[in-house]
């Protein structure tokens, strides 16, 4: 019981200190929508809301979660407040879950912001929203743990943001968000299938506009596997670099 009380207090502190700060709002909510609208307006094509929605949702989750972890973990490590948490009587895995749960919730919220806009522009009936919610949750988990992996690999906030962009911007073009993976050059496709967001985007495409090409079960299993692997590697790095 005491461990879960500590979990809640860590989460509440992060919510109070870091959520809805300007960098998280700009990178997590405004940037993906603005970037996507820019692409379609510049192309001169009619706005295909259902075709665009899966990509915007994925980008909103990706940028929101990774931006959050870059601020919380890196800033607290620099100020040494994270070291006080490491010596607290709480299991390291539970501690890291407490530090990442807020970003996961923030990412889920971000993922449904574009849906609110889409409701005013098109009909969204016939979509299995329970599976959409499960998919957004898994995308938020894998993106958050990717952010955690980045945050524990650097020392400064600006380094974390730069390192995050090293992953995020290539993912925009390689994950099939706006250009189908099948249309990419054949030498780039293995890279696309090695990126977790590819599978999340494909599930959303299957559920929203029927354009997915990977089996849903396969995509869900791969996302779960990526989440477990990223969390395991990140906690191992914390033990190796920050504790021992």
Q: What is the pTM of this model?
A: 0.87
> How many H helices and E strands in the chain?
11, 0
Nearest CA among 120, 106, 131 for reference residue 54: 131
The confidence score (pLDDT) of residue 86 equals 66
Q: Which two tokens stand for residue 145?
A: 């743990």
Contact 148, 69 (CB under 8 A): yes
The confidence score (pLDDT) of residue 207 equals 92
Judging by beta carbons within 10 Å of its beta carbon (0-12, 13-18, 19+), is residue 112 exposed, middle or buried? middle
Contact 150, 167 (CB under 8 A): yes
Cα 116 to Cα 100: distance, rounded to the nearest angstrom: 25
The confidence score (pLDDT) of residue 32 equals 65
Q: Residue 187 carries which DSSP code?
A: T
Rounded to the nearest 5°, which phi and psi values hold at 208? -95, -45
Q: What share of the chain is helix, strand, coil (3-state, %, to 5)?
A: 80, 0, 20
The confidence score (pLDDT) of residue 130 equals 94
SS3 78: helix
The confidence score (pLDDT) of residue 83 equals 66
The confidence score (pLDDT) of residue 27 equals 62
Cα 244 to Cα 79: distance, rounded to the nearest angstrom: 19
- Tell me the torsion sign for CA atoms 138, 203, 213, 128: positive
The confidence score (pLDDT) of residue 39 equals 57
Cα 160 to Cα 150: distance, rounded to the nearest angstrom: 6
The confidence score (pLDDT) of residue 20 equals 63
Cα 66 to Cα 197: distance, rounded to the nearest angstrom: 13
Per-residue pLDDT of the chain (244 residues; tens, 9 = 90+): 577 777 777 777 777 777 666 666 666 667 666 766 665 555 555 567 788 888 888 888 888 788 777 767 777 777 666 666 666 677 778 878 888 888 888 889 888 888 887 787 778 888 899 999 999 999 999 998 888 888 777 676 666 677 777 888 888 888 887 788 888 888 888 888 998 999 999 999 999 888 888 899 999 999 999 999 988 988 887 777 665 5
- Tell me the torsion sign for CA atoms 119, 121, 124, 130: negative
Nearest CA among 158, 140, 141, 153 for reference residue 234: 153
Write out the residue range of the structural domain in which residue 91 sits. Answer: 2-243
Cα 104 to Cα 94: distance, rounded to the nearest angstrom: 15
Q: Which two tokens stand for residue 176?
A: 């099939």
- The count of domains in the chain is 1
């Amino acid at each position: 019981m005491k461990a879960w009380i500590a979990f809640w207090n860590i989460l509440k502190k992060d919510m109070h200190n870091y959520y809805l700060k300007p960098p998280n709002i700009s990178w997590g909510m405004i940037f993906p929508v603005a970037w996507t609208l820019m692409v379609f307006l510049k192309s001169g094509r009619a706005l295909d809301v259902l075709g665009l929605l899966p990509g915007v949702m994925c980008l909103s989750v990706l940028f929101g979660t990774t931006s959050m972890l870059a601020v919380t973990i890196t800033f607290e490590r620099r100020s040494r407040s994270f070291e006080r948490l490491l010596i607290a009587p709480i299991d390291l895995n539970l501690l890291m879950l407490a530090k990442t749960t807020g970003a996961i919730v923030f990412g889920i919220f971000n993922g449904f912001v574009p849906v609110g806009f889409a409701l005013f522009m098109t009909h969204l009936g016939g979509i299995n929203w329970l599976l959409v919610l499960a998919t957004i949750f898994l995308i938020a988990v894998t993106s958050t743990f990717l952010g955690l992996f980045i945050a524990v690999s650097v020392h400064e906030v600006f380094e974390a943001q730069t390192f995050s962009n090293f992953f995020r911007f290539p993912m925009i073009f390689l994950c099939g968000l706006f250009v189908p993976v099948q249309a990419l050059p054949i030498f780039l496709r293995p890279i696309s299938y090695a990126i977790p967001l590819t599978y999340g985007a494909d599930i959303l495409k299957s559920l929203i506009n029927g354009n997915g090409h990977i089996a849903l079960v396969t995509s869900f299993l791969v996302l779960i596997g990526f989440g477990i692997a990223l969390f395991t590697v990140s906690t191992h790095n914390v033990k190796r670099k920050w504790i021992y």
